[in-house]
């Protein structure tokens, strides 16, 4: 590992001051992704700021019917929280489908939002990668791109966003709370992650000095009927080839409201509001689900080894809708 200095902070203000003062500094929470990438020389922070002592570990019910989740809540604590299991089961299921129990005991909600891609070329420093080294080129576009994205890609990057949690949060319309140098702000999760475009190394809208403090789930009573379906090469401890988070409001065979987000196929957690509109007011049956699935992947672009994902994403969505809404 490259050498770095280390400090501990004890409140939000101290954390923000510390990261603003240093060049190339990183916060560390669970460290499951960051330490791995430092070992590989892909992340090279000069300074690490331990934020584990901050008071960001609560899961609170809000007066407006929503839930506020502290950024340092561990993935396992969130997944097994009774409120989350009953009111937002899709989030619990998504978390439990990711990583291993040990990693979930370590990984934080805030860190999960900032997870880096698992594109094999990002991980292997021998190859050019625009995310790792801007301007060096993308090895995946003409390489072995079976795990790569089919939605939201650019000529500079086709890396898949790896998080399961973020797919559920996207379907649940989550709000990311951030505290920074100029105060606090709230960001909808669909605006939080950025498409690669010409700058794939810039993955989210956070600025220097920003600290993620919480994730808020708005009230969504129909999310009690929600589901996460993950398709992968082995049945456990593996990233998604395709995944779907669904929340459906079905009354007497008709869909009231619908939320769908796709994972494993996009350069960011993928929400398609047009597909949701196709479900709204329609009969809860296979024909409806198939037409929504066609819309969801309408703009998908397959590459040499991942073309199968277009059909796989459709089938994943249809099966998730059938499971949630009935046929």
Binding interface with another protein (CB under 8 A): 1-6, 8, 28, 31-32, 35-36, 39, 46, 48, 50, 52-53, 76, 80, 99-103, 105-106, 236-237
Measured from the CB of residue 125, what is the shortest distance to another protein in angstroms?
A: 14
Task: Label residues 2-30 b or e (16+ Cβ within 10 Å = b).
Answer: eebeeeebeebebbbebbeebeebbbbbb
27, 68, 116, 41 alpha-carbon torsion, rounded to 10°? 20
Choose between 8 and 68: whose C-beta lies nearer to another protein.
8
> How is residue 35 annotated by DSSP?
H
Contacting residues for 296 by C-beta, under 8 A, at least 6 apart: 260, 262, 272, 275, 313, 314, 317
Measured from the CB of residue 95, what is the shortest distance to another protein in angstroms?
A: 12
Choose between 74 and 161: whose C-beta lies nearer to another protein.
74
Choose between 37 and 260: whose C-beta lies nearer to another protein.
37
User: CA gyration radius for the chain?
Assistant: 19
Choose between 236 and 251: whose C-beta lies nearer to another protein.
236
Measured from the CB of residue 42, what is the shortest distance to another protein in angstroms?
A: 12
Choose between 8 and 225: whose C-beta lies nearer to another protein.
8
- Asked if 271 contacts 263 with a C-beta cutoff of 8 angstroms, the reply is no
Measured from the CB of residue 101, what is the shortest distance to another protein in angstroms?
A: 5
Measured from the CB of residue 46, what is the shortest distance to another protein in angstroms?
A: 7
Choose between 75 and 160: whose C-beta lies nearer to another protein.
75
**Three-class DSSP category at 256:** strand
Measured from the CB of residue 298, what is the shortest distance to another protein in angstroms?
A: 35
Q: Please list the residues that pair with 176 across neighbouring strands.
A: 187, 215
- Asked if 150 contacts 309 with a C-beta cutoff of 8 angstroms, the reply is yes
């Amino acid at each position: 590992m490259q050498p770095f200095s280390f400090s501990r902070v004890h409140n939000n203000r101290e954390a923000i001051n510390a990261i603003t003062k240093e060049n190339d500094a990183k916060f560390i929470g669970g460290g499951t992704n960051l330490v791995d990438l430092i070992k590989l020389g892909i992340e090279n922070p000069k300074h690490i700021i331990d934020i584990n002592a901050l008071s960001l570990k609560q899961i609170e019910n809000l007066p407006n019917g929503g839930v506020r989740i502290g950024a340092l809540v561990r993935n396992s604590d969130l997944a097994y929280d009774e409120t989350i299991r009953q009111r937002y089961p899709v989030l619990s299921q998504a978390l439990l489908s990711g990583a291993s129990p040990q990693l979930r005991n370590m990984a934080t909600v805030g860190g999960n939002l900032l997870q880096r891609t698992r594109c094999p070329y990002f991980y292997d420093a021998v190859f050019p990668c625009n995310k790792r080294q801007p301007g060096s080129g993308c090895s995946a576009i003409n390489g072995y791109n079976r795990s790569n994205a089919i939605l939201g890609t650019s000529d500079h990057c086709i890396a898949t966003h790896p998080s399961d949690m973020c797919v559920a949060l996207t379907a649940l319309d989550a709000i990311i709370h951030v505290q920074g140098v100029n105060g606090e702000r709230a960001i909808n999760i669909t605006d939080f992650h950025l498409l690669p475009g010409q700058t794939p190394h810039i993955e989210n809208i956070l600025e220097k000095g920003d600290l993620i403090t919480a994730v808020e789930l708005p009230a969504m009573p129909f999310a009690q009927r929600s589901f996460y379906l993950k398709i992968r090469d082995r049945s456990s401890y593996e990233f998604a080839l395709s995944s779907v988070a669904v929340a459906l409001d079905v009354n007497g065979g008709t869909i009231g409201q619908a939320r769908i987000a796709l994972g494993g196929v996009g350069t960011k957690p993928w929400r398609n509001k047009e597909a949701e509109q196709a479900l709204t007011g329609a009969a809860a049956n296979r024909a409806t689900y198939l037409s929504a699935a066609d819309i969801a992947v309408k703009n998908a672009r397959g590459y040499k080894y991942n073309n199968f994902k277009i059909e796989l994403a459709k089938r994943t969505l249809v099966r998730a809708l059938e499971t949630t809404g009935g046929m």
